[in-house]
Homo-oligomer: A and B are copies of this chain.
Amino acid sequence: MRTMPDPPPTGEDAIIQEFLAPLAAGAPGARSLRDDCASLTPPPGMDLVLKTDPIRAGIHFFADDDPADIAWKALAVNVSDVAAKGATPLVYMLALSFPDYPQRSWLQGFSQGLRTAQEAFGCHLTGGDTDRAPGPVSIAVTIIGAVPHGQMVPRGGAKPGDGLYVTGTIGCAALGLALRSGTVPNGASDVTMNDAEREALIARYLRPQPRLALAGVLRRYASAAMDVSDGLAKDADRLCRASGVAGVLRLADVPLGTVARRRVAADPALLPRLVTAGDDYEILCAVPAANEAAFRAAAMASGVVVSRIGHMQQGTGLTTFGPDGSLIGLGRSGWDHFPPV
């Protein structure tokens, strides 16, 4: 709780100039956010990769999250998509909507979080819009990345025989969300998790880490890729459908963090929940058999852990095998804003 007065700043132009224009200093086409549009001279020989993925309070983040974390997430979820396409981010547009005048301290934290994120991801703010409307705070990033002409890694390029890989670990963000929202017992009696582990899981939810280091490796070796944001099983199914192939997912091979491993050992029913939860922001990709060894070596060299969790075959749909090797159904496969009612 603040005890000092924190009068909200006024004037769209003044808010933009004080808090956002400094983030555009590295983008010449942003014109210090003093023009109606930004310009971008495309890098020669490159295609641009475009993505917009807005986040809204109460849906994608908690209204009382640290504004620096909210800013990080707003940019990271978009960078994650760009990375999965084998591209690197260049610039982003930012459309902010507030139900009321934002507090100065909130804007300061938010802009500082954006600065940290854009420096980590190597991109710059180049334009946007700020308005006031009822409803949750809404932060809509549209990102523009670059990839060598014709080399964007598609979702639909997988072929039968390809290995199915995922980066990092799955389910940590879901556990972090549960901790953040208080739905996991969090008291002293919970001996399976120490404070550092708890913090790390919450950080996985609050601060997704886009796997940008893998972008070049994907371009070189992957036949298809996408980021995992709506649940591993759902996104794997999407990759299969887009590619016109069937997929086999082996839950025994899905990489879990240490806490998730302990919890799944105690309660095997948790595993299907972790592979159908969202917010992982890992990369799922298909790799032709002939490339698999080189892919694994290049991924290791890039510092990104990859795990083979299945493969592609002739047919349609995703088949999932449980830890004991038996065929299982997952029920809902992941997040949908408009599920059947």
Contacts and interface: CB of A to CB of B under 8 A. Distances in A.
B127 A50 contact: yes
Interface in A124-151: 126-136, 138, 140, 142, 144-145, 147, 149
A16 B81 CA distance: 18
Contact of A133 (B11, B56, B132, B145): B56
Interface residues of A, number: 74
Interface in A1-60: 8-13, 15, 29, 31, 34-42, 46-54, 56, 58-59
Contact of A34 (B132, B152, B242): B242
A259 to B, nearest CB: 29
B50 A10 contact: no
Interface stretch (A114-122, A270-278, A331-339): A331-339
A340 B15 CA distance: 12
A154 to B, nearest CB: 6
Given A9-B338, A48-B40, A35 B132 contact: no
A226 interface: yes
7 contacts: A11-B340, A36-B81, A37-B51, A56-B97, A93-B142, A95-B142, A130-B338
